[in-house]
Structure 1
Amino acid sequence: MATKPLTKAQLVTKLSEKLDTDKKTATAALEAVTDIITEEVSAGGAVTLPGVGKIYCRERPERMVRNPATGEQMKKEADKVVKMTIAKALKDSVNG
C-alpha cells in the first residue's frame, strides 16, 4: 500500500538528522539544491542526481489536441516539459 509522500518539513528533519546539523542549515541546503536544479533546467540544461536520476527539459512540437468536453480539434503551440529519468540503482533498490 502506498504511503504519503514526505512533506518539506519532514524532508528537512530527516536531512538535518543525516547531516547532524540544525534544521535551518538543512533548509538552506535543500533550497540551494532546488534553486540550482531550477536554474539549470530552465536554461535548457540537465542535472544528474547520482543514484536518483536525471532531470531535464524537453521541447514538445506543435500538435493537434482534442477538447474532451466538446470533441473539438485544436492546435496546441510548441512548449517545454520537465522530465526525469530514474537511475537504475534506484529502480533496483525499489524492486528488491
Structure 2
Amino acid sequence: MNKKDLVAKIAKDSDVTLRDATKMLDSFCAAVGETTKTGESVALVGFGTFSLTERSERKGRNPQTGEEITIAASKSVTFKAGKALKEAVS
C-alpha cells in the first residue's frame, strides 16, 4: 500500500474527501516528525510507538576496497509495534 492507497482508504472509512484525508495524513506525519525531532516519543496505545534513536560514531569498512572508515553519528526514528498490532498481524 502506498500513500495514495492509504489516503483513499482513510477517505472511504471516514467518509471525507480525498483532499481532507490527504491533509489528515500529512498532518499526522508532520506531527510525528516534529515530536520525535525534539526527542519525545509518540505512543499510540495498541498501535505502536515512534521514538528517536541516536547512533554513536563507529568504525566500518568500505566493502569495495576493504579500507577502514569512520561512520558519523546519526539520529534515526524507530517504530515499535504495540500489542494489538502484533496480534492483528500474527
Shared fold, TM over 0.5:
yes
In structure 1, stretches of 5+ residues that fail to align are 1-5
How far the C-alpha of 1:44 sits from its partner, in A, is 1.6
| Residue of structure 2 in register with 1:86 after alignment | 81
In structure 2, stretches of 5+ residues that fail to align are none
Q: 1:31-53 CA deviation, whole Å, 9 max, x = no partner?
A: 11111011111122111123221
| Residue of structure 1 in register with 2:8 after alignment | 13
How far the C-alpha of 1:58 sits from its partner, in A, is 0.7
Q: How does 1:21-60 map to 2 (within 5 A)?
A: 21-60=16-55
Read off the aligned partner of 1:51 and give its amino acid letter.
G
| Residue of structure 2 in register with 1:65 after alignment | 60
Equivalent-residue separation in structure 1 for 2:13 and 2:46 (angstroms): 17
Aligned partner of residue 22 in structure 2, secondary structure:
helix
Equivalent-residue separation in structure 2 for 1:51 and 1:18 (angstroms): 19
Moved more, 49-58 or 15-24: 49-58
Equivalent-residue separation in structure 1 for 2:73 and 2:49 (angstroms): 23
How far the C-alpha of 1:67 sits from its partner, in A, is 0.9
Aligned residues: 90
Deviating above 4 A after TM superposition, structure 1's stretches of 4 or more consecutive aligned residues are: none
Read off the aligned partner of 1:17 and give its amino acid letter.
K
Equivalent-residue separation in structure 1 for 2:67 and 2:27 (angstroms): 44
